[in-house]
Amino acid sequence: MVYEPAEDSFLIQKEVKRLAKGRVLDMGVGSGILAETALKSKRVKSVVGVDIKQEAIDHCKNRLNDKRIKFIVSNLFDKVPKQKFDTIIFNPPYLPEQDGELWELKTDISGGKHGYEIIERFLRQVNNYLQPSGKIILLFSTLTGKQKVESLLLDSMMDFDKLNKLNIAFEQLHVYNVTKSKLRKNLEKRLMSDIWIYAKGHRGLIYTGLIRKKKMAVKVQRPDIDVNESVDNEVKQLRLLTKHGIGPKVLFAGKGYFVYNFIEGDFIMDYFDRKDVKRNHVVSVMVDVFEQMYKLDNLGLNKEEMHHPVKHVIITPKEKAILLDFERCHARKKTHNVTQFAQFLISGRLLPHIERHKMRVSMLDMLARAKKYAHRRTRENFENILELIR
């Protein structure tokens, strides 16, 4: 069974006729209507039609007798040779999956359990096949989830424009023009590939990617908040702090972003909860963090948020504590890095995670010693704090 052209095919066909150029890839070629439309354009040099069904490929070969087109049986990009296209057309199966669907029907109309899964798989691979200035003509439905699709586009560091839409029974069809963002193009010039969202913070977004098969992290200023230049401030602080063994080293940076080696490890409380972690490991990690807090105090820099650093400290496989998130780090006459982490240590949030290691830290003693340290930040007063956990 070959998917017969319907409202979605005719809607995206209008944009293919208007925008397709250069080397074209029709992903999910189906009946061949979009590949045929592309071939009729004087701007199009060649077309590759891809489909998961051999039946669809055979149908298109019989229908389209043109030396400029070739066909590949492939599940998305699995069998597509590495090459770059100027235009990629994708009218995917986009409806949520129904129980008991036959494979033939599922591959025609179902985009996965929620309807967007095939689009997500496509977006995770497509940039390896798209020219820097290339475009993707993408169709989806409100039944797929418009906000979800737009979120996936942002997760892949892509820009998009709304080209066309059509209201039909129970749904609205949308066609988008999708292009690589300026930042993505800059990162790809530095040989980064496989860029995808990793985490979303209050001020920054973290993406991961590969450079020469090595995993990298990219921190980007969030565009949807009022706080400006917090990531640029973080770059400034990290370039100073890494000279003192604090934080990840900035490999390269630009306005509103920076790149560093991805740090493998566990967030601090997850690390404390691991069954293979012993009491002496916990003590070693705490001392490591405190020592870095002491350095920050002496540098006159306030990191902030160390009273609740749940996502701000990663413990590497070598039991080294790496501090993250320096967007709010600034010079202060009165710093409180050590005292903030002391506050975290005796908080109800952390205590259950260290008590399983038979650790007891006196709240009253810690408060008294932290207060004494805050009054006079000497090494002796700092060592008195460390005594409580050693």
Instruction: Give the pLDDT score at 106.
Output: 44
User: Using CA atoms, how far apart are residues 78 and 50, in angstroms rounded to an integer?
Assistant: 10
Beta-carbon contacts of residue 342 (< 8 Å; ≥ 6 apart): 366, 369, 370, 385
| CATH code of the region 185-261 | 3.30.200.20
Work out whether the CA dihedral 21, 25, 28, 33 comes out positive or negative: positive
Average pLDDT rounded to a whole number, residues 24-31: 96
Measured CA angle at 129 (ends 123, 133), to 5 deg: 95
| CATH code of the region 266-389 | 1.10.510
Instruction: Give the pLDDT score at 178.
Output: 98
Q: DSSP strand E in the chain: where?
A: 22-27, 44-51, 69-73, 85-90, 95-96, 110-112, 130-141, 158-168, 171-180, 192-200, 204-211, 214-221, 252-254, 257-261, 266-267, 301-302, 313-315, 321-323, 330-331
Give the neighbor-by-neighbor strand order of the sheet with 252-254.
192-200, 204-211, 214-221, 257-261, 252-254
DSSP 66-92: -TTEEEEE-STTTTPPS--EEEEEE--
Task: Of 166-175, 219-228, 285-294, give the range with the top mean pLDDT.
Answer: 285-294
Position of tokens 């199009």?
44
How does pLDDT run across 44-75, given as a tens digit for each residue? 999 999 999 999 999 999 989 889 999 999 99
Position of tokens 């990290």?
238
Q: Is the pLDDT of residue 97 over 70?
A: no
Q: How many CA atoms lie within 13 A of 353 on its CB side?
A: 20
Q: How many CA atoms lie within 13 A of 246 on its CB side?
A: 25
Q: Say whether domain 7-180 belongs to CATH 3.40.50.150.
A: yes
Same fold yes or no, 7-180 and 185-261 = no
DSSP 295: H
Instruction: Give the pLDDT score at 355.
Output: 80
Instruction: Please provide the average confidence, as pLDDT, over all residues in the chain.
Output: 91
Average pLDDT rounded to a whole number, residues 299-319: 93
Show me where the domains of the chain are located: 7-180, 185-261, 266-389
- H or E stretch including 280? helix 279-299
Q: Is the pLDDT of residue 356 over 90?
A: no
Instruction: Give the pLDDT score at 101.
Output: 41
Contact 199, 220 (CB under 8 A): no
